[in-house]
Amino acid sequence: MLRSDKLAANRLIAGLLSIVIFFGPVPAFASDPMCDPKFVNPFSDVEWNCMFPIRMAGATIIGDNDLATPGKIRSPLCSCDEGLTTRVGITMGFREPARLLDVVKSGFCLNGLGVNMGNPSIWGDGGSTTMVQGGRYFAHVHYYAYLPLFLLQLLLDFGCTEKVPLDVLYMSEFDPTHASEELGLVTFPETILFAATPLILACVADAMSASMGAPLDPLFWCAGAWGTMYPLSGYSPTRESPYVEASAHVATKFIAKAHRLLISWGTSGEPAMCGMYPMPVIRKTQYKLQLVRPVKSRECLPIGRTGMLWAQAKNPPVPGKADNFSYFSWRWRDCCAF
């Protein structure tokens, strides 16, 4: 027990040191004045109320039932094959803060890690600071494995929590399909199908449902009141500041893209009882978003909820911080515990 905790702590320290070593040589004169990042604090920046409700043995034991909770499992018991043995446990479900996303105007501005990799001009086109391109909002995305429960060494012996150190999983500056929807058609040819007018009009129902409670999982190509998921790029149709709703839209589009590329897997429903499983199509109710930069939000949003209900005063005009957003991705986790 003590040995495993010590190894976990050593891995965490090594990971943080590698980030410092990697990013440390960036010279001060190359800093981007439009980027003033701040490391997301696993103590104070996490809205822990988002973890609720907590379900155990087929019943809600903490918190109120949530319309956005996916597929409430009713069975109290479960079992998992583990080689020559079968582990019997009880069903459990809760939300965990598992990933952190930056949605930033400044390329190579690692907003949630507190790292400014330099003036965008030294990186070429990948560092564009233009918020509106071709009449639409555009932003870069950075995707991190960031698990506060792991960083704080909490519940490490609890089989339902993912034990992954801090890591950079994706940077859109190195992905040509993020800024070019034409290139994205090669990787995601289904984009043409979801451009059909009847499918776009179906998103009105998803917008209403998300704003009143929870998004509609069958309409996976819709992002509620924010627009559509496709094309899976860094663009949003919103073109006017304060860009808060547009940033949430771009974050959601990337989560859908991460599932399409199997960077993200399924963690909800019966198939997740014994571990994560491939889920190439996003299940929207598996996720909620919590804004942490530039202003910490006290709520977790279902995908597609209209910004009229939550986006006010979330992007104050502070130099270096305005228009650079960071979101926690809270995912629902079903598992067979104990």
Mind listing the pLDDT tens digit of every residue in the chain (338 residues)?
444 444 444 454 444 444 443 444 333 335 567 888 999 988 889 999 998 898 999 888 888 767 777 767 889 999 998 888 888 999 999 898 999 999 999 889 999 999 998 655 544 444 445 577 667 899 999 999 998 877 676 655 566 777 777 889 999 999 999 999 999 999 999 999 999 999 999 999 999 999 999 999 999 999 999 999 999 999 998 777 789 999 999 999 999 999 999 999 999 999 999 999 999 999 999 999 999 999 999 999 999 999 999 999 999 988 888 899 999 999 999 999 87
Three-state DSSP at 87 gives strand
- Rounded CA-CA distance 288/300 in Å is 6
What pLDDT score was predicted for residue 119? Answer: 59
What pLDDT score was predicted for residue 32? Answer: 67
Radius of gyration of the CA atoms of the chain, in A: 20
Residue-number span of the structural domain to which 96 is assigned? 2-337
- Rounded CA-CA distance 19/37 in Å is 15
Q: What total number of domains does the chain contain?
A: 1
Residue 226, token pair as written in the block: 């924010």
β-bridge partners, 304: none
What pLDDT score was predicted for residue 235? Answer: 95
- Rounded CA-CA distance 133/125 in Å is 13
- Rounded CA-CA distance 28/246 in Å is 31
- Rounded CA-CA distance 138/202 in Å is 25
Three-state DSSP at 89 gives strand
Residue 229 DSSP one-character state: S
What pLDDT score was predicted for residue 154? Answer: 64
Residue 259, token pair as written in the block: 């599932």
Comparing CA positions, the residue from 220, 275, 250 lying closest to residue 325 is: 250
Residue 126, token pair as written in the block: 């990948």
- Is omega for the bond preceding 53 within 30 degrees of 0, making it cis? yes
What pLDDT score was predicted for residue 148? Answer: 85
What is the model's pTM? 0.86
- Rounded CA-CA distance 258/238 in Å is 22
